[in-house]
Amino acid sequence: MQDVAALARERLGYDVLRPGQAEAVGAVLDGQDTLAVLATGTGKTAIYQLAGLALGGLTIVVSPLVALQRDQLRALSAAGAEVAELNSGDHAGQHQARAMLAERRTGFVLMSPEQLTHVDVLDLLAASRPHLVAVDEAHLVSEWGQDFRPDYLRVAAAIRTMGRPPTLALTATAAPPVRDEIVHRLEMRSPAVVVGGFDRPNLNLAVHTFADEETKNRRLLSHVRSSRGPGVVYVATHRHAEELAAELGLAGVSAQAYHAGLAAKERRDVQDGFLADRYRVVVATVAFGMGIDKPGIRWVSHAEAPGSVDAYYQEIGRAGRDGEPADIELFYRHANLGINRFFASGGVRDEDLYAVAAAIDEHHPADIAELAATSRLSPARVERAFGRLTDARAVTVTHRFKLAARTDVDQAVAKASAVEHDRREVARSRVEMVAAYAEHSGCRREFLLSYFGERYDGPCGNCDNDLSGRTAAPAAEQPFPVGSRVRHRTFGPGLVERYDGTTMTVLFDRVGYKELRTAFMTYNHLLDPEA
């Protein structure tokens, strides 16, 4: 690691390695698959850069945001490394990338996951025998995240064809269920998991609770009008985004709506205008997210509770990236959780699983669009069904989709249906964790960090509960250490997340998050340490 630190100074200009970087690089150099979960701005890119430089040979980087990686690639080029992009645009760059793969040249080849749909690319990758495969924005392989990309499901098969070199998965936000799904879907082998850097002490956390919608909306409008600096309001629907942006405009605030219902050019114009300070406020749905890197966002507000704590933390993480104070406000009504509970209770129907499995068995489609056409389902329904079949290991994904060996359609559906049942339980529990955060009486920063598996002992002194003196005293009884594994007679194995007064929160593998009465669990011997 002393050599890596020297390499970081001499080749990349880093004076010191940040927390998490050294551990992740060290694990890769030891030949381990590695999942690095580090907050935005903590230098995830440097991990694959340093690991690739130290290992030598060829490094493949799969990234959905090739344009945003170009600065890092220029830094590698300046450090003397050969770099190239494999995409459908730059023909000269594509020729260079293909030559690097064919000749197994030392350097870095950056590619989008969509390239894995091409047979010739898969053949080149199979011949390239890289020393490292880095998967950036790895949460996109997980349906727990709001930005799921089906083409990421091809990455595991591509890694197999390359001879299973060490795999480095990088993401800025991943609670334990997301981490488990990343590991499962990328077929990582006993990976080292490096988690850290989630604490953002410059974010001032607050929740405002309301009994009626009219009062809540009036307070939100007043808050945005009086706020200083650029900010983002997250709302649940396209209609609300349009209406609130219009209200703000009438009040003299330069605001624009952003949602998936806008044309691509309109979305780009809003994003570019916000980044260039032509608009002070963007009122957005979850469609406004990945790729937004504006250091001086001074506040983020949520007009409704998000679908999960994961989504919330990812969205508020866009504020205060310059290290200066930023205000985070959730405008909360418990009644608004009904829509989130409704979506969580839905899911994939058995008839969709059967249609998709049958289409795969009969047609061996090459992508989601072809699978949608042959199954006669919408792409969204196909994506969800295909995800369950993948989780159940009932399909194999290469340049074409096929049922797994010795698996017929009925067996595939049965396996995927069992996976779907457990997934719904976890989805419901994630909604309840949003309510638990909003209604929490203790340190909000401690709640958020424990949710992501990072130990933090409050009070932080920078959330509404701490500042008002409402923070409860630490739980007196903690029979199982935070972060330890336990087993419940009914719920099965799980991870102790946190204690709060007389209750404890456990994330169970099959049924998700449960808040349990600590004394009841211990008195009745319902929890035991997992062997």
Per domain, the residue ranges of the chain are 2-196, 203-342, 348-464, 472-531
Fold of the domain spanning 203-342? Rossmann fold (3.40.50)
Token pair belonging to 93: 């760059």
Q: What are phi and psi of 176, to 5 degrees?
A: -50, -45
d(CA 98, CA 414): 42
d(CA 132, CA 383): 29
Q: How far is CA 234 from CA 193, 300, 320, 331, 433, in A?
A: 31, 8, 16, 10, 19
d(CA 7, CA 52): 11
Contacts of 498 (CB under 8 A, 6+ apart): 446, 447, 450, 451, 482, 504, 505
The b/e string for 371-392 (b: 16+ C-beta within 10 A; e otherwise) is bbebbebeeebbbbbbbbbbbb
Longest dimension (CA), the chain: 70
Total residues belonging to the chain? 531
> Which value, to the nearest 10 degrees, does the dihedral of the CA atoms of residues 461, 463, 465, 468 take?
60
By C-alpha distance, which of 36, 76, 84 is closest to 54? Answer: 76
Grouping H, G, I as helix, E, B as strand and the rest as coil, residue 125 is helix
By C-alpha distance, which of 133, 179, 132, 128 is closest to 154? Answer: 133
3.40.50.300, 2.40.50.100, 3.40.50.150, 1.10.10.10: CATH of 348-464 = 1.10.10.10
Token pair belonging to 389: 């079949």
The CATH code of domain 472-531 reads 2.30.30
Q: Do domains 348-464 and 472-531 have the same CATH topology?
A: no
- Beta carbons within 10 angstroms of residue 297's beta carbon: 23
By C-alpha distance, which of 479, 480, 481, 486 is closest to 531? Answer: 486
d(CA 233, CA 334): 19
Token pair belonging to 43: 């230098």
Structure pTM?
A: 0.79
The CATH code of domain 2-196 reads 3.40.50.300
Task: Tally helices (H) and strands (E) across the chain.
Answer: 20, 20
- Beta carbons within 10 angstroms of residue 516's beta carbon: 19
pLDDT values of the chain reduced to their tens digit, one per residue, 531 residues? 677 788 878 887 778 888 788 899 999 999 999 999 987 666 788 899 999 999 999 999 998 876 666 766 777 888 788 998 887 666 666 788 899 999 999 999 999 888 888 888 889 999 999 999 999 989 888 877 656 788 888 899 899 999 999 999 998 877 888 888 899 999 999 999 998 777 889 999 999 999 999 999 999 999 999 999 999 999 988 999 999 999 999 999 999 999 988 998 998 899 899 999 999 999 998 767 665 678 899 999 999 998 889 889 888 988 998 889 999 999 999 888 877 777 776 778 999 999 999 999 999 998 888 999 999 999 889 988 998 998 888 998 877 899 998 899 999 999 999 989 888 888 888 889 999 999 998 899 999 988 887 778 878 999 999 999 877 666 667 899 888 899 999 999 999 988 887 889 999 988 889 999 998 998 889 999 987
Chain position carrying tokens 């570019």? 272
Grouping H, G, I as helix, E, B as strand and the rest as coil, residue 472 is coil
Token pair belonging to 355: 């249609």
